[in-house]
Amino acid sequence: MAGTGTPPPTPPVAARRPVRREKFGRVWSDPWAWIRNREDPEVLRHLEAENAWTERCLAPWDGIRKAVLAEMKARIVPDSASPPVRHGPFLYYARYRRGEEYPVFCRRPAKTTVKNRGRGRAGPEQLLLDGNRLAREAHGESADGYFDLGALEISPDHRILAYAADTVGRRRYEFRFLDTRTGRVLEDRISGAAPNLVWARDGATVLYTSIDPGTLRWFRVMRHRLGTPAEQDEIAYEESDETFSVMVSESRSRELLLLHCEQTDRAEAWGIPSSDPEAAPRRIVARGGPHEFELDHFRSRFWIRTNRDAPDFRLVEAPESDPGNPEAWTDRIPAREGVPLEGFALFESHLALFERRSGRQTLRLVDWRTGASREVRLPGPVRALDEEENPEPGAAAVRVVVSTPKTPPTTLAVSLTTGRRRVLKREEVPNFDPARYRVRLLSAPAEDGVRIPISLVHHRDHPPASETPLLLYGYGAYGIPMDPAFSRTRLSLLDRGFTFAIAHVRGGQELGRAWYEAGRQHRKCNTFQDFIACARHLRKRGLGDPERLFAMGGSAGGLLMGAVLNEEPALFAGLVAMVPFVDVLNTMLDPDLPLTTAEYDEWGDPNRKEFFELLAGYAPQENIPQAALPHLFATSGLHDSQVQFWEPAKWVQRLRERNTNPDAVIVLRTNLDAGHGGRSGRYRGLEEIAEIYSFLLGLAERTTAGSP
């Protein structure tokens, strides 16, 4: 663990410089409002002192950290490649080389070009882009700073590769352009962009999304022509409503460049002909609301996944002449009660539908010609399902990735006509046997009687019991489901006797749109109470040691951790709050901060009294009780674009002030070279996880030994 000199004997104490705040007659103080300037040397010294204190507190468990880190690294195959994806005349794929942090991106001709004793052999590999070389160019030979390739888009003639890199972690990217025939990087540079770009049909014009430098909102679609300075780029569309963002995509027909504007429960769509990228955008579906939709164009029709008159969405087709008129829409996949439609993929012969039944993701195929429908059999009653890249409409199969808590991700090619599955790649995990693990699906009664699903996984030799440690994970926001996917790092907990559980609380969308609506805005507290109910239920059923019950959540899940801690400080022995959104009230009152205005529809606009009172009532920073608090590990990233680094920094100060438990370990780890997602790199990124796991395992061991 990297040191910062002699560890301090006591936790860092940030100077109190109270700022008085007042709204709707309520007055409160923000003592650490000054911890906002990432360029201020005093702020940096404080964060470094917090890191040093964290290292001091975790030093007794350094042996655990090193062992866990070694295990995690050993579960990575040093040389591996993704299954190739057919796109036009080439097969594209990424691969890792032994000892390297970042992938290299390659292609080879799709057709066999070399004959060898009568058998075909694939054409030669062409290495297009080396992420490791780009990271070294950005940070020196050690390439120890943050690096992320956020977009790779090939031109229609497959000659120019556009790629976006973020070297800070702030999620503001720079686009460059590579000539794949010569290997030369063009002079064009587009800075301050989102990782969002599409090519026009001419192969010389791109549309991309520009980010507001202050709020980081995706607010403009710009037009760039290769060979011209980015300063001369023209605005194709600007989103003036500060609660909306905009992005650009290519239609499935490849005839339109689609501009999609959205907020939490409203959307709008525009189109520009790919053959005429300088044309003014044409509105396809106007915003109104609440109305959410996803739109595509294919087979001379518009296809709209819409929640108009269908809370869990339906799929309609709309004529090109009048696509924005709901009266002209024809149901293709009507709404079905209890079966949320989460997505769709359009092919020449079939339609692929991604749905849910009883919280479980499913794949259904529909024949365009006959209308016949087939549900595909997928492994595991508890699983995660994602659509893979499917760039070719004429493909005979849809590619998906499926995993379970005990089964590594497997890429499948599912025949559109028969539904038969062909394994393209099963992620290899050395030293792993799925037969050693068990998966269960439970449910807990919430305060209002609603049953909250719980996914649970454990080692077969360590069945959950009243004397075994348990880690409960939760999120519950934005309608994002927490599907029970595989984690190779989590095995280090399971192998040491931990049970891992996910509480599928309201605010996610595991059980459809109503599940989300029941956990946002005025009903947000359901999310917190659901999580508490799940923890109590697991304890009551003897599925975890009450003295070794831990909780974890990140970002909006970190808000969940803060709210639960305030509500039930004695329920958990320890909590892990990763980049936690805990300064909710002050953040949502500052429209100049990233994400604030765009999320009024998620949390509520505190400029309205009803929402101000709601947020003030549960904001973690303002509601910490004077009590014996549990152990806590919080993380942050100095360049975090979503949850600003000062939120957990201020929160930890307040927690220590309010805590009456002298044995509580309350620490903050700030990554000074990264943002919301933590450190980059396939090996370096494991260091943060190993540190968190050493915290949990060390506490579990200490409790077993009977230490305070």
Torsions phi, psi for 404 (to 5 deg): -130, 170
Which of 233, 504, 640, 641 does the annotation list as catalytic? 640
The one catalytic residue in 251, 555, 641, 694 is 555
* Cα–Cα distance, 512 to 326 (Å, whole number): 23
Our answer to whether residue 676 is catalytic in this structure is: yes
Length of the chain: 708
Do 60 and 683 contact (CB within 8 A), yes or no? no
What DSSP string describes 197-242?
Answer: EEE-TTSSEEEEEEE-TTT--EEEEEEEETTS-GGGPEEEEE---T
Residue environment code for 335-347, b if the CB has 16+ CB neighbours within 10 A, otherwise e: beeebbbbebbbb
Amino acid at 206: V
CA atoms within 13 A on the CB side of 353: 27
Q: 10 Å Cβ neighbour count for 395?
A: 18
Active site residue 555: yes
Q: Strand, coil or helix: what is 528?
A: helix
Q: What does the alpha-carbon distance between residue 338 and residue 350 come to, in Å, rounded to a whole number?
A: 24
Q: Name the catalytic one among 458, 462, 639, 676.
A: 676
Rounded Cα distance between 181 and 126, Å, is: 10
Name the amino acid, one letter, at 468: T
Sorted by sequence, the CB contacts under 8 Å of residue 370 that are 6+ apart come out as none
**Identity at 393, one-letter amino acid code:** P
Q: Which amino acid is at 176?
A: R
Q: What would the DSSP string read from start to end of 66-134? A: HHHHHHHHHTS-SSEEPPPEEETTEEEEEEE-TT-SS-EEEEEESSEEEEETTEEEE---EEEEEHHHH
Q: Region of 650 please: left (phi>0), alpha (psi -120 to 50) or beta.
A: alpha
Longest dimension (CA), the chain: 86
Cβ atoms 405, 457 nearer than 8 A? yes
Alpha carbon distance 98, 78 (integer Å): 4
Residue 640 annotated among the catalytic residues of the structure: yes
CA–CA gap between residue 304 and residue 284 (Å, rounded): 11
* CA–CA separation, 621 and 653 (whole Å): 10
CB atoms within 10 A of CB 592: 8
Contacts 24+ apart (CB under 8 A), 515-518: 516/478, 516/479, 518/450
Query: With left for phi above 0 and alpha for psi between -120 and 50, is residue 535 left, alpha or beta?
Result: alpha
Task: Give the span between the Cα atoms of 22 and 28, in whole angstroms.
Answer: 6
Question: CA 547, CA 553: separation in Å to the nearest integer?
Answer: 19
Q: In sequence order, what are the beta bridge partners of 223?
A: 207, 234
Tell the burial category of 235 from Cβ atoms under 10 Å away from its Cβ (0-12, 13-18, 19+).
Answer: exposed
> Measured on CA atoms in the order 371, 372, 378, 382, is the torsion positive or negative?
positive
Indicate which residues carry an active-site annotation. 555, 640, 676
